[in-house]
A and B are shown apart, each in its own frame.
Chain A
Amino acid sequence: MPPLVLLLGLIVGWLALGAAGLIRPQHLRFVGRVLFPLGALVALGVAWLGLQALRPGHAADLLVLPLGLPELPFHLRLDPLSGFFLLLLGGASAGISTFAAGYFRAGEGTAPGLLCLQYHVFLASMALVLVADDAYAFMVAWETMALSSYFLVTTQHRIPEIRRAGFLYLLIAHIGAISILLCFGVLQGGSWQFTFDAMRGPQLTPAWASVAFLLALVGFGAKAGLVPMHVWLPEAHPAAPSPVSALMSGVMLKTAVYGLLRVTFDLLHVQQWWWGAITLGIALFTGLFGAVFAAVQTDMKRLLAYSSIENIGLIFSAVGLTIVFHAFGLHLFAALALSAALIHCLNHALFKSLLFLATGSVLHATGQRNLGKLGGLIRHMPWVAALALVGTLAIAGLPPLNGFVSEWLLLQAFLLTPQIPHAFVNMLIPLGVAALALTVALAGYVMVKFYGVIFLGQPREESLQEAHQAGWLERMGLVWLAVGCVALGAFPQLLLNGAAPVTRDLLSAAVQPGSSLWSIAPIAPERASYSGLVLLVGILGVVGVTFVLVRRLYHGRVRRTAPWDCGYPWQTPRMQDTAEGFGQPIRHIFGSAFRIERELPSPWDTAPRYRVQIEDRIWRALYLPLASGVRRLADAIAVVQGGRLAVYLLYSFLTLIGLLGLVL
């Protein structure tokens, strides 16, 4: 049976599982112990089918479904690009669904059965986005994805902030959707054929192609969270339940990357190098912006949301670099940059889902999202703490884990830019590399803050002493993702081999992982090579040998005492760094990036209060003026809205006369 038909079966399976949730919507055990684990199994199947599509010699599968508009049935297509992202979707959601099976509790907003429906419709629509082969099917799946995730974000819809976050998300999702719709309108180029196959054929004029590209960049950028359309991310991610945040951040943002790659490389066949330069510029700014803002957050999920913005910046900068290389005809280099983008998508799906799920466990154990009220959880939740440490090290881009692999590839791709035959671009590149290096280093800062404040130190609240361990299903989900982070870090050639069919398909060039079995050398071994496995085994080996030697040659005697802390005996948890305190150097160095409101106590205050509020400048610079402009415009138009039926009938009548005049 062709893989696409199987995939369709799995998508229907997801929908059926969702519908089954409605049989007994209030029955938590049925939904949690039966439907979600089955959903995880289906996800494994999706990942396996994605792998099948990446096999060498796999031709693109085509399928036409008798659904949709009369003239335009649903076209589906499974090629290596879809396959790679299906692998990502399946691999990440297998862990997330397992976690979700143990996560949802009764009495948290939406009924479990309904939640199960929304969740599985969300998964199915993402899979459908990845295989859609005409504009109509794509938009239907895309909108289903936006709507189902909107309902998931507003699970706890009784809280006004969460309703507001959901509205913001829906608004920006629709601005993006309109832009994508217009992009497809330009792409059909007057042929009125809306299948992707028809769009691949005709070459648009450079001007129209550029318009189409910019529309796609805006549309998919809104979904991915490129600055300045990132504002929904830090609102929606904390609002959603943790498995949903994990899915949205780990997987849904990547569908936007998929869309941009599909339009730019498959449908438009890159024409101008400046498309890449624009993408690169916005992406690098987004990356740095996300990292700086993540460093000053005090809500753990908001911090992760900003970190997602940072990672999206890294991914899009790789995409921009690919466009530049491709436009200058440097296909092998383009393949390296595209591999970096794809691999970072996959890596980010693993470690960001892991961290969001870990925050979910913390949230359930403590009821706190505020970093200022957490601390010391490594002693109460050792499993979650250990697995979150893997995610933390991976997302900080540290070798030998997987996050480092993609950052290494991205830097290697950047270092190839001196070979671009264009002096101006060459001059800009050092600045790009500098921004990239700064972003990557800041990510380390952010993650130390994240992990240190939540899991290390002393508990900042009495109630944290009762924090309990996560359930076994939750732990299994976390283990799955953490194992992925370690394995892909140790065997980076798997990642390169996975990306190779995609780059071969889109750019007709592929990066060879190199001749050696344990290391990757994407361009040439004397140029650069990296072996995750040797580093992992080397570090663990030295650690093991040192440990054994110290124990053998000396002794293992330990005396437990109070911490020394320079002899100060009255330690309280309030003397540790708070989240604000840990972010203070960043606030100091990048002060002009924030809008800071501070309330300092005076020396005579009997109840001193210190308050600091850090805001995104974008709100006051762009969104609030925009909103008030829209309101003024609406007020102006409201003049015609008198509220009297007779006047409205008159309008209809005049319109009718006008239309008749037009027709006759």
Chain B
Amino acid sequence: MNALAIARQSWELLLAIAMAPILMGWIAQCRAWLQNRSAPPLLQPWHTIRKLFWKDAALGDQASPLFRATPYVLFGTMVVAAAIIPSVALDLPFVWAADAIALVGVFATARVFMALAAMDLGTAFGSLGARREMMIGFLAEPALLMVFFNAFLISGSTALPSIVGRLSAPPFVIYPSLAFAGVAFVMVVLAENARIPIDNPATHLELTMIHEAMVLEYSARHLALVEWASALKLFNYACIGFALFVPWGIAPHHASPVAMLLAEVALVLKLAAAGAVLAVVETVSAKLRIFRAPEFLATAFLLAVLGLLVHLMLGA
């Protein structure tokens, strides 16, 4: 590990941290266009975060240290997750610190902290959100693991750089099992990032909320960090999707600075496309009743397991 590698890692991280809110802004723009509304500016989430940081925090009078620490923990876990996922290059030092299973674990850590913080003040909506979030989580987490295991069966590794290296290697093959895994993954992304059809990020109806119900009590800098962390979470999930299903364009080992730059351009293009697709999916689907959410996620889980079986039967 040398200074150059660390510098590149830090650069990639800063890029992720900076781009995550812009991705949110882009999705909001696309949604507005599709719904025939005039769109907010691309940098709107950034302005919101800046504004929130300057405000005075209003804390519930019974809030415990856990409640105050959670926004920082969420932000920390999501930044570490962004460092683990090879979004731009394969030979960054941090990507080897943890594999795909540990990545799922890091996401779970964030989720558990979020749910605990939501229960801290003992408000009706907080615990309702926590319960629903954990219900979504315990179904989405195994589904995500199964998606990774599909990639594992092809590449023989749970380390993300090895998976990317194997899947982007020249002989271009369409793996049937990855098709199953891909559908399952999209469903998991929708559920885990509080998007329609599981949750509505723009909802104002308390009884249907999941993510929003959990962050109701946060304000100012705490809210800014929570929102930033959820933007990073979506960014991370998008990068996981790219690594598994469109791994082309990620800079290989010992890449030149030009290749790195190209990889960054490729990442931006992929993010733009993914954001647009997400906006379309959200626009054309309706929100499910909360009791249908387990069915939705069980479908994702079973699809991913089916992918594993397909791989073992076809041997490909």
Contact = CB atoms under 8 A, between A and B. Distances in A.
- Name the residue in B119, B125, B145, B162 with the highest tally of chain A Cβ atoms < 10 Å from its Cβ: B119
Interface in B63-80: 64-66, 69, 72-73, 75-77, 79-80
B121 interface: yes
Nearest to A437: B142
B56 A412 contact: no
Nearest to A443: B138
A109 B108 CA distance: 43
Interface in B219-265: 219, 221, 225
A109 B118 CA distance: 40
Contact of A530 (B64, B98, B123, B141): B98
Contacts of B308: 430, 433
Interface residues of A, number: 85
30 contacts: A393-B109, A393-B112, A399-B102, A404-B105, A412-B158, A434-B142, A440-B141, A444-B138, A445-B135, A456-B64, A457-B121, A527-B159, A529-B97, A535-B97, A542-B75, A542-B76, A542-B80, A546-B75, A559-B56, A559-B58, A563-B60, A564-B217, A565-B124, A566-B125, A577-B128, A581-B127, A582-B130, A584-B131, A585-B132, A588-B291
B66 A447 contact: no
B83 interface: yes
Given A431-B305, A434-B305, A559-B56, 8 more contacts: A393-B112, A408-B101, A440-B141, A444-B112, A457-B119, A562-B61, A577-B128, A585-B131
A540 B69 CA distance: 11
Interface string A568-580: 1001010111000
Nearest to B225: A546
State which size class the interface on B falls in. 35 or more
A536 to B, nearest CB: 10
Contact of A441 (B53, B99, B138): B138
Interface of A: 375-376, 378-379, 382, 385, 389, 393, 396-399, 404, 408, 411-412, 415, 418, 426-427, 430-431, 433-434, 437-438, 440-442, 444-445, 447-449, 451-453, 456-458, 519, 525-531, 534-535, 538-543, 546-547, 550, 553-555, 557-566, 568, 571, 573, 575-577, 581-582, 584-586, 588-589
B226 to A, nearest CB: 12
Q: Is the interface of B mostly helix, strand, loop or mixed?
A: helix
B288 interface: no
A275 to B, nearest CB: 23
Given A437-B141, A526-B162, A535 B59 contact: no
Contacts of A530: 97-99, 101-102
Contact of B77 (A430, A444, A539, A565): A539
A279 to B, nearest CB: 22
A583 to B, nearest CB: 9
B134 A444 contact: yes
Nearest to B66: A378
Interface in B85-122: 94, 96-99, 101-102, 105-106, 108-109, 111-112, 115-116, 119-122
- Name the residue in A375, A415, A573 with the highest tally of chain B Cβ atoms < 10 Å from its Cβ: A415
A160 B165 CA distance: 65
A127 B252 CA distance: 54
Contact of B122 (A389, A457, A542): A457
Nearest to A519: B97
A352 B199 CA distance: 35
Contact of B76 (A375, A540, A576): A540
A398 B80 CA distance: 14
Contact of B97 (A531, A541, A542, A554): A531
Contact of B216 (A378, A457, A566): A566
- Name the residue in B57, B59, B75, B98 with the highest tally of chain A Cβ atoms < 10 Å from its Cβ: B98
- Name the residue in B97, B126, B128, B159 with the highest tally of chain A Cβ atoms < 10 Å from its Cβ: B97
A353 to B, nearest CB: 21
Contacts of B123: 563-565, 571, 575-576
Interface stretch (B23-31, B149-157, B188-196, B277-285): B149-157
B139 interface: yes
Nearest to A408: B101
Contacts of A448: 112, 115-116, 119, 130, 134
A161 to B, nearest CB: 30
B16 interface: no
A378 B120 CA distance: 9
Nearest to A460: B122
A558 B56 contact: yes
A560 B116 CA distance: 20
A375 B54 CA distance: 34
A576 B109 contact: no
Contacts of B158: 412, 415, 527-528
B43 interface: no
Contact of A542 (B79, B116, B139, B309): B79
A135 to B, nearest CB: 41
A456 B131 CA distance: 14
B134 A547 contact: no
A521 B244 CA distance: 22
Given A527-B158, A528-B157, A528-B158, A576 B127 contact: yes
B36 interface: no
Contacts of A562: 60-61
Contacts of B2: none
Contacts of A550: 53, 221, 225
A427 B134 CA distance: 30
A110 to B, nearest CB: 37
B80 A539 contact: yes
B159 A528 contact: yes
A453 B122 CA distance: 9
- Name the residue in A442, A449, A456, A527 with the highest tally of chain B Cβ atoms < 10 Å from its Cβ: A456
A538 B142 CA distance: 25
B197 to A, nearest CB: 17
